[in-house]
Chains A and B, each alone.
Chain A
Amino acid sequence: MSGKQGGGKQAQQQQQQQQGGKRRGGTSGAATPTTPASGASSGGGGAGNWDAEDVLQAVVIGDSFNSRFTPITMEQPRTLLPLCNAPLIDYTLEFLISANVQEIFVICCSHADLIKQYIEGSQWVRRQGVTITCIVQPECLSVGDALRNIDQLAIIRSDFILVSGDLISNMKLAPVLATHRLRREKDKGAIMTMVMKTASPAHRTRSLERDSVVAVESNSQRLLAFRQQRSPNATKFVLPVSVFKEHAAVQVRYDLYDCHINICSAVVPVLFTDNFDYQDIYDLVHGILDEEEILGNKIFIHELNNEYAARVDNLRAYNAVSKDVIHRWTFPMVPDYSSEPGEAYKYGRNNIYQDERVLLSRSCNVVEDVVIGKGTKVGENSQITCSTIGRNCVIGAGVTIENSYIWDNVEIEDGCTIKNAVLCNKAKILRNVAVESGSIISFNVVVGPDVVIPAHSKLTMLDEDGNLPDSDTVFDSKVVGTAGAGHNFVVVPEDFAEDELEHLKWGVDIVHVEDADVEDSDDSLFGDDTEMHMEAPEDIFMHEIRESIQSVALGERNVDVENIVVEINGSKHAYNIEARDLAGLIVQVVMEVLLEVNPTAPHTALKTLCTRKNPVVLSLLKRYVSGQQADQLSSITAIANVLAEPEAEAARGSFLNLVHKLYDFDVLGERAIQTWFKQNADEPNEIRAKLRASLQRLITWLAEAEEESDDDDEDEDDDDDDEDDE
């Protein structure tokens, strides 16, 4: 990447060059930087020292301190993961350099050697006017630790920029810095400016991991409250009421996300030292907002409207930001504009970026939003859409690649299908492999031939203890195929509950959830809060899905069955509904809706619903009930339960018809009906026993039909009509 430097800054740059030259030694990367810090006092912002004022410093946190990208990050640090074929840190550094930052400290923790090695060999250290120093601190476990170390090293002289090493932005820092400094002159307490980007609540680039609401003072943009929710199912945000009591005009903003660009005064690292329990920047924010009002420290926000800034902090963000780059929101940080020396991307229509040395077969189809790196070959009849493909990859014939990220030197053999997946360097996909949504194939893994990699799989060469395989390692051929090499990686990130984790997964499902998000939340959020707390999770769950099913049943909305499935799955996780209970609950809800439509003869309602043009209810039942006999059994029980309720007395007569209809529509199998009938033979409850008895005719009929059915299907249909007439 060779960024554009601001043209009119020649003179200033010259001056900086000299400084840069002097400090070049720093880049050789010792644990202690060689930067002279004698004149600087760490606390008070060393005014008076001429270069302290002039040199703009930035601290890049080169570690994420979490495991969102495992297993990839077990072998390569996050900052070096390629995004549109350029390592993340390149974007960050380019952003800082084009904002005229002159001194950059990169904190390296895990895989420090790799980061250091990369930076030292990269174009950045040869850049004029900027010093990049790697600070190797493998003992750091959090951003807090890193900043405490920074404080100890006493390298910060004035206001500095704190960013993470996975940041992509094209914003101009100068105006923010100017406002920050101005504010600081007036008020010493204005210690930090957080850059926040406006984005509607359902925006793809927003981090779902941290759903945040901020309260700012309307005029001054001072941050008054900051709330984050990890659980996607929370229905409310709670802000301290004092915020609104003490400030006459407050804006509550749900259209901002934190870009992780913070303009900090030199006192920030000191605050981290003082409060040794602060782990990340949010601890500081909460500390200042909640407790340190007394000290007069304030945080302000800067709202970013037209410029771009986002952090790649999980796979979903990786996907979203890649799309943003391809769609040129990050201009000039796009593949064709800023590429490594030796690379030359051409930007073509439909957002296709192609290096000059790409070999595309005549019949392959590159649809849209695609980046292809140099030396890559694509075989006949292959189709590529919405994906990035690295350098020197070999893609065979008849391969479909959709919405996937394929890094360098990957080989994909003929007939493979890859959707919503990440394939790391040197991964090898043998012929006829299907890689399903949300999967990660880490470095050097070989899969195939003829296997299906199920959705959300993570395959890595490392075993459970993180060791590379040796010659006698045996791989599970069920997982990776007969010629494959790799392990299934199953480690739940320690700090997340399961339903929260769901959101971090990336793939088709989630994209759907996002689409359905608005509706979804409407469904789930309402009613009085008190009720919410009193009800059992099953009940709430039923309300949720009842809503969806009811609206479909009454024809209020015409939705795709997929959407309802997504809603139901979402609610399922939200209320901890076990898979085996699901069928029964859904059938119960359907029954209730049917009773509402037709209180005496619900089976006619069922018939109308299922013979409709878009039989959503039927598809739902088929999906959740038909699959397993246990589900079918619990469904019949559910129907019986609903009918056994006193208020459904009028409808009891149609039990037989209901079961029969469901049988006709292939929701229930005859085996299940017979089993249920047998299982409940000694039902003590009189009403239920009666209901069961009413099935007798169907059972007899089924027994007869079974004998005849092999030869004559028509017969069955006739019988079926008879049943209707009754």
Chain B
Amino acid sequence: MAPDPDLIATDIQQYLRQHENKSLLRFITCGSVDDGKSTVIGRLLFDSKMLFEDQLAAIEADSRKWGTQGGEIDFALLVDGLSAEREQGITIDVAYRFFSTDRRKFIVADTPGHEQYTRNMITGASTADVAVILTDARKGVLTQTRRHSYLVSLIGIRKVVLAINKMDLMDYGEKVFLDIVGQYTEFARQIGLTDITAIPLSALKGDNMIAPSGRMPWYRGPALLPWLETVEIDEARQQAGALRLPVQWVNRPNSEFRGYAGTLASGSVRPGERVRVQPSGRESTVARLVTTTGDLAEAVAGQSVTLTLTDEVDISRGDVLSSASNPAEVADQFEAMLVWMSEDAMLPGRPYLMKIGARTVSATITELKYKVNVNTLEHLAARTLDLNEIGACNLALDRVVAFDPYTVNRETGGFILIDRMTNNTVGAGMLHFALRRAHNIHLQHLDVDKVARAAQKRQRPAVIWFTGLSGSGKSTIANLVEKKLLALGNHSYLLDGDNIRHGLNKNLGFTDADRVENIRRVAEVARLMADAGLIVLTAFISPFRAERDLARGLMAPGEFVEIHVDTPLAVTEQRDVKGLYAKARRGELRNFTGIDSPYEAPENPELRVNTTDCTPEAAADLVIAKLRDLGVLG
């Protein structure tokens, strides 16, 4: 198990040959500090002799200073990394630990157990082959145990150890063990976990950790480390799948060579094999698998390769090379499970960036079907997901991508969502299946088109989007602009709170989620009207950059004109035409922009007007002048 010192001393070459062929197992440990998780990991590190003398000396010193074991070595201290956490005695993040035996190298994702760290646990579990779920023998299957098991099953881990720890405190009794196993097995079956190995442990005393314990002769199964050393890795299943190679990078050292580099997500590949480029659907044949030490005859899932094809095909980063006879699916609308990882709630309708494989696209959550109570597994109706919440949703992408269901392939079915403004990773998702809707709604070809409609009106369609705080003067200026357009003989329409909020959007309130939906609908209506050939004016606070960018993206280039009515908060609040600021300050009006809800000013609007320096009339003239500049008006 632990490295054999005799062999090292007598025949290092032989030892190295043996160790070249070790496999790699990644696992996650779930449980709270109270369950002894850090002690389990510390013990594995200690007993597999992966600790060096100076580390041991440091840990002995730390045990005297911080330890909870009365001066004895506190194994937990081996694994608590950041000083802030060490002082609080908790683990707040994912930490990775390494140890190895003669048979395997192990990477342990050590994650905290509390509900507020669901994000961390999902992160650690995403790369794990197996999970070790800890429970305290005195407490049995707790809510927390169920939550951890659900998350493990959600992220697609199939093999689980139920480690029933602290058996020393229950006199190593068999009945205690069997009762807990009984309770757990029933629950695990419901969530689809079937491959479970239950092991009674005392991490503190070292029972059933490295070798079977004499104190629990009634237990005939494996001890923890031997199980970890021999459990089968999903490798064979992954390699048996169909070829999937997300292209990371196109390698073009000169005009003679064009290689496609990436890590095989599943299957295997050989020269001569037919491949399909997805999503485009073109096909070609693999010519070479190129490496620094000569061409390979075959590469398998998990390897990083550079390959060339026999034909010149247009392939770029993010495309997927698939087996031609068994390609991936291609779609732009999906159902997926989503784990929310940001303090800013998920907003349906907001465009996020989605990274899947090597491709990044724009994605919108079109519908949140339900969220999951991770403690009871109940499905609850919800409009948003908060930090650490999990839900099932429908997603719409701005273009088609190649994918496999997550249960078939973690790498071509898993994705992250990125916030466009903060660039943070805000969500992680697992694709279930494509929504067929996308295929069945065919666009009706229309003979009378936008150009024809606009020509009849002798104008260029445009969307003039006014944004700014409540009371900044948007509607007043927009009204004046529309009068001027009418006078110039243009056909226009003004969308504002009065004609939208009372009709189309009367079912929406003022939460962030509703504001996003409000603007999404306004943008879609404006697009239709522009398509009808009209010059559309909109006057909405539209506080979020993401939605204004969405609106801009819906229109043709040059068609969207953003006008920031940049009246400072102090002025709008002092004007308070509708008395709303006073109400908001008194707390009678919630989610009021500028008071308790943010306003994100445009970074590069086509025009910025400030009504503290000019009259609404002058501002309207500036807008007309701008429209002439931009060529919207002749």
Task: Decide if A and B are genuine partners.
Answer: no
Q: List residues of chain B with CB under 8 Å of any chain A CB.
A: none
Q: List residues of chain A with CB under 8 Å of any chain B CB.
A: none
